[in-house]
Structure 1
């Protein structure tokens, strides 16, 4: 298990990655990238993102349900969420095995879990569009960090989610995600979804910090891929500075 860097929360996605590697599962190698990547942020070292990690206070927590492939993808944005939120959890999904720690987390009385999923695919009695206070409980957003096909499979075959309220988001803006191809611009990436959830929970500083961190990550990633010099004076970097440690 990985240890938290002093002053930072433990990144549960990094922990999962280390556990997969210890189990002999090999990471994904991005095509055409031969430069050494930073172990922490997954961007090639010349464009390392680590110095730009924000630190904010937040009441909400996030739990990522991931596939074995997703946890290794350098373009994955779930680990950005785990960087920003102190209370972050991540689990590898399996159809045949359920991690008892996930069951315990869902039953923890300090949390009010919300499964984030499109409402049109769910019985309407379970669907909510707002995050309301619940007996002093803190909101815990369950995000299916996978492709849309995989997310639907996880949703259908995970009985332990059947009693959770479904938080259906209605974003008014198109996705800014440029690191993978998508046929639909209204499909948000995981970090963008998490930022919307944080807004609903009125964790506005965390939502804004995550949005800014996501934009800076995208710039570092794409500039490295295109072999462009890194511009740390960009609008995204300036927005992120207010949330730096």
Structure 2
């Protein structure tokens, strides 16, 4: 299904112009860990953004757009169905100086029950993600998941400051593999991402 405006037809699923639709790259996958994506408004129509493709690949995921979320509503989403939310975000130097509390530790027993976990992903630039963390105290109170043994990013269409700075899709995929120990199950996520990157590269070269 498409929507139209005076300038172009737009895919209602991926929110992109029909000529740049990415829906064909998505292979729907079931996940034991539930994914919640909090997307900064500036990323919604960013052609290089991978969160919408991630959302299409994981039908059970939820994607909310905003920078500051009302605390009662955010808390309800974070803790829905009595899942334990984990924030996919590194603990950065200088957080204490900003008045941010130290995040609680992850209980090891919880990591043995991926079906009881909710992975929370901030889809934003580093600068905007730090602001999202700062202005949403509910996120500050979450245990944080750090990614381990990361390969270099394949996100060649967007500038990164270090090889291990990943796209939202790559970060979520590696986190799900780390939590569920199912590498082959999530391989289609990387295939979808490679196809998306190639499509965008061709458009930028045109």
TM-score, normalisation: structure 1 = 0.67
Gaps of 5+ in 2: 96-100
1:75 paired residue among 31, 44, 48: 48
1:149 paired residue among 124, 127, 148: 127
| 1:114 paired residue number | 86
Mark the CA change 1:39 to 1:105 in structure 2 (over 3 Å): closer, same or farther: closer
Distance in 2, matches of 1:192 and 1:132, equals 20
Mark the CA change 1:224 to 1:138 in structure 2 (over 3 Å): closer, same or farther: same
Mark the CA change 1:46 to 1:86 in structure 2 (over 3 Å): closer, same or farther: closer
| 1:14 paired residue number | none
Gaps of 5+ in 1: 6-17, 19-33, 228-245
| 1:222 paired residue number | 201
After superposition, the C-alpha distances for 1:77-128 in whole angstroms (9 at most, x for unaligned) are: 1111111112211223344x51644321222244221001113447777355
- Residue 172 of structure 2 aligns to a residue whose secondary structure is helix
After superposition, the C-alpha distances for 1:28-51 in whole angstroms (9 at most, x for unaligned) are: xxxxxx986655446664564323
Contact preservation (8 Å) 1:63, 1:89: yes
TM-score, normalisation: structure 2 = 0.78
Please list, as runs of the form range in 1=range in 2, the aligned pairs for 1:190-229 lying within 5 A after superposition.
190-202=168-180, 203-227=182-206
After superposition, the C-alpha distances for 1:110-154 in whole angstroms (9 at most, x for unaligned) are: 4221001113447777355987134x7522111111110111121
Distance in 1, matches of 2:102 and 2:167, equals 24
Aligned length, in residue pairs: 194
| 1:12 paired residue number | none
| 1:185 paired residue number | 163
Contact preservation (8 Å) 2:152, 2:163: yes
| 2:98 paired residue number | none
**Cα offset, 1:180, TM superposition:** 1.8
Distance in 2, matches of 1:117 and 1:133, equals 20
Task: Single out whichever of 189-198 and 124-133 deviates more from structure 2.
Answer: 124-133
- Residue 119 of structure 2 aligns to a residue whose secondary structure is strand
- Residue 41 of structure 2 aligns to a residue whose secondary structure is coil
After superposition, the C-alpha distances for 1:184-206 in whole angstroms (9 at most, x for unaligned) are: 22211111100111101224345
Please list, as runs of the form range in 1=range in 2, the aligned pairs for 1:1-245 lying within 5 A after superposition.
38=11, 40-41=13-14, 45-46=18-19, 48-95=21-68, 97-98=69-70, 100-121=72-93, 126-128=104-106, 132-134=111-113, 137-202=115-180, 203-227=182-206
- Residue 119 of structure 1 aligns to a residue whose secondary structure is coil
Alpha-carbon RMSD: 3.1
